[in-house]
Amino acid sequence: MALSLTLALKDMRHDWQSALCFVAALVGVLAPLLIILALKNGIIGTMVGRLIDDPNNRQLIAVGAGSHTPAFFDEMRARDDVAFIVPATRSINTVANALRNRNPRALERAVPLIPTGPGDPLLPDIPLTEGQAVASDTLREQLSLEIGSTVEMVIGRELDSQSQTARADLTVTGFVPPDLYGRAALFISLPDLLAVERFRDDASVTPETWRNPAPFDRYASFRIYAKSLDDLRPLQIYLEEQGVQVRPRAENATLLLLFRKNLNILYAAVAVIAALGFWAAMAANLRGMVERQRIAFSLLTLLGLPEAQRRLIPILQSTTLVILGVAATLVLVLPAIALINLGFATAPGQFIARLSMLDIAATLTLGLITALTASIWAVAAIGNIHSEEVLRHA
């Protein structure tokens, strides 16, 4: 093999113009593809990354009021595509008439109440039980809350033309970051939210007994989050097949995933067409090289060089040219990507264009596969070159 490699390299050095043109042609094909791939990875990857990082984009919102049994929630929790689900009340019962911070006497009216529980993606690692609450960052500012603050929840109703008010003290155990929930809201336990619904819907419940535990066998709504963005659409389809109408909170999440999929298909199609064109050009170039060096190969046969080593020459030349072409491409592309990120990045750590080591390794691997397969025609032609040809030529 060492002799074959020496002969292959010396032939390329002798015909360096052809080798240089071939490497330049490979760079011309490969560089635009890698730039486009880097932009696709950077722009689309950043957008999808933001969607993935925000759990709100994995939420499905129940449309209208239903009647869901505990068995329904057990079934949904057992599904692999469900990250979190908790029962909820009718929307009319998910608003407190007022919340008051007893300490600085701050008050906020008509505050949404959101049921939560263990595993809530908006409340990572924040403990919460009955009688406790987690406030959004906006509500924290409005009521000047701190961890450990006591919030008085005021719930009102009209009964026989008389206004009645129920009150409960809740202890604040944490806050939801503004990037996860940007509006004023109070996250409370399911028993506390169900107590609100009982007080407003059941006339027999009094302001003194409204927080007494009571069994529930039906729930009007729920909060549900898919495990991943890819699970969002299948989960929506499954629920709708069960007669439960839902809609994704982030409509653009599904559209972006579809766009990413279509963009990947389009890029793959362009790359395949370019690879086929390059493969055909390389195969013809190697076959032409063998034909130009036909007398030289005949002489090598006459001198006793084994056929296997003669056949290695075009293979070694093609792989060498591809390696040189990929290296030259990276020398041009990597600085270009750095300049693109330097000139167009809008935030620290954000990349408009990104090319990973896996992308580079895949490019080199596909290039070598192309080189090996493209040399088959030239390798086959060498087998038809006999030693007497050089004698006839002489």
pLDDT of residue 16: 75
State the pLDDT confidence band at 76, using cuts at 50, 70 and 90: very high
DSSP 63-122: PS---B-HHHHHHHHTSTTEEEEEEE--GGGSEEEEEEETTTTEEEEEEEEEEE-TT-TT
Number of H helices, E strands in the chain: 13, 10
Share of the chain above pLDDT 90, in %: 36
pLDDT in tens, 248-260: 987 777 777 777 7
- DSSP 3-state of 42: helix
| Contacts of 45 by beta carbon, 8 Å cutoff, 6+ apart | 351, 354
Q: Which residue has the higher pLDDT, 308 or 150?
A: 150
State the pLDDT confidence band at 334, using cuts at 50, 70 and 90: very high
Q: Looking at residues 213-227, what average pLDDT do you find?
A: 90
Beta bridge partners of 247: 61
| Segment among 44-48, 60-64, 234-238, 273-277 with least mean pLDDT | 44-48
Q: Looking at residues 274-279, what average pLDDT do you find?
A: 83
* Rounded Cα gap, residues 145 and 257, in angstroms: 39
* Rounded Cα gap, residues 203 and 282, in angstroms: 85
pLDDT of residue 11: 64
pLDDT in tens, 108-155: 999 999 999 999 999 877 878 899 999 999 999 999 999 999 999 999
pLDDT of residue 294: 64
Residue 75 vs residues 40, 78, 81, 191: alpha-carbon distances, Å: 39, 5, 12, 21
Q: Which residue has the tokens 């869901």?
A: 68
Return phi, psi of residue 118, to 5°.
Answer: -60, 135
